[in-house]
Structure 1
Amino acid sequence: MKRTFISLVIILLSQFTIAQEYVPTKENLEARQWFQEAKFGLFIHWGVYSQLGDGEWVMNNQNIPIDAYEKLPSFFNPIAYDAEEWVKMAKDAGMKYITITSRHHDGFSMFDSQVTDYNIVKKTPYGKDVLKQLAEACRKADIKLFFYYSLLDWHNDDYFPRGRTGTEIDGRKEGTWEKYIAFMKAQLTELLTNYGDIAGIWFDGHWDQKEWDGKKFGKLKVDWHYDEIYKLIHELQPQCLIGNNHHIAPISGEDFQMFEKDLPGHNTTGWGTSASDVGQLPMEVCETINNSWGFNIQDRKHKSEKELIQLMVKSAGYGSNLLLNVGPMPNGEIQPEHKESLKNMGEWMRANGETIYGTSQGPVSPNEEMASTRKGKTVYLHLFNDKKELYFLENFDVPFRDIKLYNKNKKVTHKVNEYGLFLEIEKEDRDEVDTIVEITLK
């Protein structure tokens, strides 16, 4: 009798768990498919912090008191902001979507929120909703729009208990966690009600409420109410994709998985996502053009065209998108160096985008020498080292019928043996950024 009772409890619990699992709608699955094929997006980190020219974490890094930081909006006046110009820049770069910060960790809302006066419309001389302008420009250009939304907040008293960051900021008070959750729900409702169709919500800050011993994250200190928040989003806009930069395996209700400054499963940062936590959802790698997300006037470490293109190819080689960031200046203009980088990316994508857009992970995993993508019966092999003549694809046992240079009617000399596939690339055929070989499968 006792065993029967325990078995019944297990069955009921299993049914309850299954009932609680998120089941994506048809619209959502279609949006996931679109996202997986889009491959390239623009990340924009922009807020009142840009005026200090020291990145988006300046409030925390310089321990700026609340009352001092609250002065920033009073002289934030981005008169050079042109949403249509931003969207054209992204489209010309070959990007299919834009993700922009609606509210970052400093707690300042870059949209016309009715649940707080601490926003761009009510607190700045600019007085206009930059997200509204961007949403309209995106619609005109057929570019999809995602909103970044910070879970943590160094300004809101109700973000309490405090997390690991912002602990030295003067003027922070105690509040009520449940009120903070209600505040976030209200703002997310605004973002998903007042700006037309939104392609996705990009959450960040989960890790702030995790214990940290200096080497690894520990247990979570709070309940983020993801079940309620994710349900709200999907009810308001079923196609809206949810991603969370929490550096752990995907949680039920999420639609894509992102990897910050790392290729999927690599975790070179030490605080990223381990290989065991890579899920089955569409993926996105986010990276900066220099070393900063928000505008940093001292950051001169701009990645070269070669580095950016090879990052694009390696991301696609994992079946992932690349979300490449710019940090606009306080006047609303994009740094000239970043515009030039995006222009160069666009030229390369126009010539070679067929090997990236709509592809899946190829049979050769990305490494420093090469990466591969696949579309139907075609494998695109991207070779990075232009000094090499011979390339070896170990254990390449995929039956093929033809190997040639991409976009050239020229066969590639090759040899197959028990060890794999050998390719010989003549000097005049090598590209210093990326030599592309097209392999047609049987």
Structure 2
Amino acid sequence: MYDTKQQWFKDAKYGLFMHWGLYALLAGEYKGEKTDRIAEWIMNYLNIPVEEYRKLAKEFNPQNFDADEIVRRAKEDWGMKYLVFTSKHHEGFAMFKSETTPYNSVDASPCHRDFVKELADACHKYDMKFGLYYSQAQDWDDPDGFMQTKENSHKNFQRYLDEKCKPQLREILTQYGEIALLWFDTPMGITKQQTQELIDLVKSLQPNCIISGRAGNHMGDYMTTGDNFIPRLPYEGDWEVPATLNDTWGFNKYDHNWKKADDIIRLLLKINSRGGNYLLNIGPDADGNVPKESIEILNEVGKYVKENAEAIYGTKRVALYHYELEWAQFTSKDYKLFVHVLQPRMRVEVINIANQVKRAYIVRDGRELEFTVGKVCEGDGYIEVELPEDMQEQKNYAVCIEMEEKEPIFEEIQ
């Protein structure tokens, strides 16, 4: 079972991922050819030569990027507890000042900006946990970095680790204050020994920095699921679902398949109820603007999260409930079951409740609710919570049911 030993991560439940790099300039298209896959992989999928791709750095001047505003929104409007930013994605371009290579946002671009520093400063200002994504195995710019879909057997991968990866990790872990999380990705052919070398380096510089499950060889501090994949059942230990608002991570001007805010709320609650964190992505465009659709969705989700904070942050894995409820999701804390009402209802009805109930109330305003407990005709326990008239046509709020006992919550089906 994975254990980060970091209470902040266990309690956070909701974080912001940010994929941003030179690929934002292409926005899903190169020389008239569109990629039908994730936009940040365009260099790989469309076989763009290194010398051609590097020219993008000379065009990268995102005058509208405002780290302070993004972090403020994430914390105050969207209800997120941590942020993870792509310091170097597979394209090999560093979004920070690197002495390891001039191929970075300060030295190779007309903006001359260190985006890791800007975001680190903003996160520290707003008391937001700051994490960095770093592609430890794939580097399509480095001749010895791995590249998915290409032949890698001739490469001296250890040279890449020693001469680029490790020096850059040392830079990002020593120049920007506390780094709460290091998000490694796509380990590919990295060996167990090489993974251990990276882990040892991270922990030697920042002992409390937790490492994602994609470090390689099942050696991270927590389990990272597949992109947009949610465990079917409650899962013990610390884990996280990285996910998108549309179909891509990096900005793609052709991807308009935006999820609805209601769907994001349901996914967040489903992940939280099964014990995990939801790391939800934005992909700024080449000018540094966060897509307006992303902002609109996250504003609506954030309203729900802030109003129902008690029922989200610090919640724990809910015991497996035997019934599928289209209108609700559960989260829980010791002695409390939160019923998230996602469709209009006259009352909240839950059967197979094993606990004695003390009280019920609306989470967002503390309003006390009348409830009835008893046995259904089949002999199973139930609770009915009467909803006030003004809420019977509403959706997206949480009802807290306080319990006498801590465990169990649900009875076995007879």
Q: TM-score, normalised by structure 1?
A: 0.79
Deviation at 1:69, TM superposition (A): 0.9
Greater displacement, 408-417 / 61-70:
408-417
CA distance in 1, matches of 2:196, 2:216: 18
Deviations 1:376-432 (A, max 9, x none): 321112233436867444x43233233444432222455434334354666753465
Q: Equivalent pairs: percent with the same residue?
A: 34
Deviation at 1:111, TM superposition (A): 1.1
Unaligned runs of 5+ in 2: 29-38, 405-414
Is the Cα contact below 8 Å between 2:370 and 2:386 reproduced in 1?
A: no
Is the Cα contact below 8 Å between 1:181 and 1:224 reproduced in 2?
A: no
Cα separation, partners in 2 of 1:367 and 1:224, compared to 1, 3 Å: farther
Greater displacement, 357-366 / 175-184:
357-366
Unaligned runs of 5+ in 1: 1-21, 210-220, 267-274
Which residue of structure 2 lines up, in the alignment, with residue 243 of structure 1? 212
One-letter code aligned to 1:419: D
Is the Cα contact below 8 Å between 2:237 and 2:275 reproduced in 1?
A: no
Q: Give the counterpart of 2:149 among 165, 170, 185.
A: 165
Deviation at 1:336, TM superposition (A): 1.1
CA distance in 1, matches of 2:94, 2:295: 26
CA distance in 1, matches of 2:125, 2:269: 29
Q: TM-score, normalised by structure 2?
A: 0.84
Q: Give the counterpart of 1:342 among 278, 298, 304.
A: 298
Q: Give the counterpart of 1:323 among 279, 289, 296.
A: 279
CA distance in 1, matches of 2:95, 2:256: 27
CA distance in 1, matches of 2:75, 2:318: 26
Which residue of structure 2 lines up, in the alignment, with residue 18 of structure 1? none
1:69 partnered with 2:53: yes
Deviation at 1:106, TM superposition (A): 1.1
Q: Give the counterpart of 1:153 among 139, 149, 154.
A: 139
One-letter code aligned to 2:142: N
CA distance in 2, matches of 1:196, 1:318: 33
1:198 partnered with 2:179: yes
Which residue of structure 1 lines up, in the alignment, with residue 168 of structure 2? 187
Cα separation, partners in 2 of 1:82 and 1:138, compared to 1, 3 Å: same
Aligned-residue Cα RMSD (Å) equals: 2.7
CA distance in 1, matches of 2:393, 2:12: 25
Which residue of structure 2 lines up, in the alignment, with residue 36 of structure 1? 10
CA distance in 2, matches of 1:67, 1:289: 32
CA distance in 2, matches of 1:310, 1:425: 23
Q: Give the counterpart of 2:358 among 384, 393, 401.
A: 401
CA distance in 1, matches of 2:221, 2:153: 35
Aligned 1:382-393 pairs, distance under 5 A: 382-386=340-344, 391-393=349-351
Aligned 1:133-282 pairs, distance under 5 A: 133-151=118-136, 152-159=138-145, 162-166=146-150, 175-182=155-162, 183-206=164-187, 208-209=188-189, 222-223=191-192, 225-245=194-214, 250-251=218-219, 254-262=220-228, 264-266=230-232, 280-282=236-238
Aligned 1:274-423 pairs, distance under 5 A: 280-363=236-319, 365=321, 369=326, 370-386=328-344, 391-393=349-351, 395-406=352-363, 407-417=366-376, 418-421=379-382, 423=384
One-letter code aligned to 1:409: E
> Aligned to 2:281, what secondary structure does the other structure show?
strand
One-letter code aligned to 1:34: W
CA distance in 1, matches of 2:149, 2:195: 21
Cα separation, partners in 2 of 1:422 and 1:441, compared to 1, 3 Å: closer
Deviation at 1:163, TM superposition (A): 4.8
Size of the alignment, in residue pairs? 383
